[in-house]
Amino acid sequence: MMKITKLSPNVGAEVTGIDLRQPVDEATRRRLNEAVVENVALVVRDQSFTPEQFLAAATLFGEPMERDLKDYSLPGVPFVHPVSSHHKSKDGTRIKVGARWHSDHTNHLYPPKYTVLYAVELPESGGNTNVANTRAGYAALPEDIKRRIDGMQTANVIVGSAVRAQKAAFDSDRVKWQEREKPEPVLQPLVRTNPDNGTKALYFHPNKVENIVGMGPEESQSLLNDLLERAVKPEFVYSHKWRMGDMFLWDNRSALHKAGFDYDENQHRLLHRVLIKGERPH
């Protein structure tokens, strides 16, 4: 029997007693989807997937979408993206992907509503995936700040100029791609409404923000940092300590996430990722 248990009052729930390789009926599928929206993050324990089975399980939550850097998809299963601690850019630099609080693919008009991960190889300890409930974080902001930021829009590129200027944080493959393609900035609301429950949440990827409309790049980054400091409180964060067999997903419309890099870098942390298509943020 499937059981869903809250992991903390504000964020995170655990699902046990279900094998997602088996057919899932419509009522169960709906309960799982409602549990992600309600709890923001959901871990389904004790799964055993091939990449194809993982993809099939992830599609219980919607349609998969392709990633930006398609070269880094899993050969033969393009909707599955390896997320490896040994990942290097083409110039040989090792990159800590996702080390800052962010939301995925905000440079897309239709960014993913859910991000789904599955553990393939884990370090002995550390390497948690952290999810912050930014619906709770937004609700806890002082009213004058809410009034100030409601209606603000971020202009999203691949790597923003203020972040590029800091040198350390960016990935040269992404910068090259930006220089080659020169994509038009995509505007996203800084405060986003989740269409499934009408709640508002902070929504951004600091590295992808060129600027907030009407503000300069540096000034925009300091506002985002200030919002993170105010809104990402320990009681709103679920730090997922991985176990083999975990499938872990969260609702990008109500969350920011980041990876922990607090483990021996000779050990390999490999997750598989599927992004689930979302609606146009508003």
Q: Which is nearer to Fe ion, 98 or 189 (CB)?
A: 98
How far apart are alpha carbons 192 and 135 in whole angstroms?
9
For Fe ion, the closer CB: 18 or 113: 113
Q: Counting contacts by CB under 5 A, is residue 111 touching Fe ion?
A: no
Q: Who contacts 27 (Cβ-Cβ below 8 Å, separation ≥6)? A: none
Our finding on whether 104 is near Fe ion (CB under 5 A) is yes
CB of 32 to Fe ion, least distance (A): 21
CA dihedral of 173, 166, 262, 91, whole degrees rounded to 10:
30
Contact range with Fe ion by CB under 5 A, out of 24-32, 46-54, 101-109, 196-204:
101-109
Task: Compute the least distance from the CB of residue 42 to Fe ion, in Å.
Answer: 16
Segment near Fe ion (CB under 5 A); pick from 3-11, 41-49, 100-108, 198-206: 100-108
Residues 6+ apart with CB under 8 A from 75: none
In a 3-state reduction of DSSP, which class is residue 105?
coil
User: Rule CB under 5 A: is residue 98 a binding residue for Fe ion?
Assistant: yes
- Please, what's the b/e burial string for 1-37 (b: 16 or more CB within 10 A of its CB; e: otherwise)? eeebeeeeebbbbbbeebebeeebeeeeeeebbebbb
How near is the Cβ of 257 to Fe ion at its closest, in Å? 6
Stretch in the footprint of Fe ion (CB under 5 A) among 14-22, 31-39, 91-99, 141-149: 91-99
Which pair of tokens denotes residue 88?
Answer: 């290097």
The residues that touch Fe ion, with contacts defined as CB under 5 A, are: 98, 104
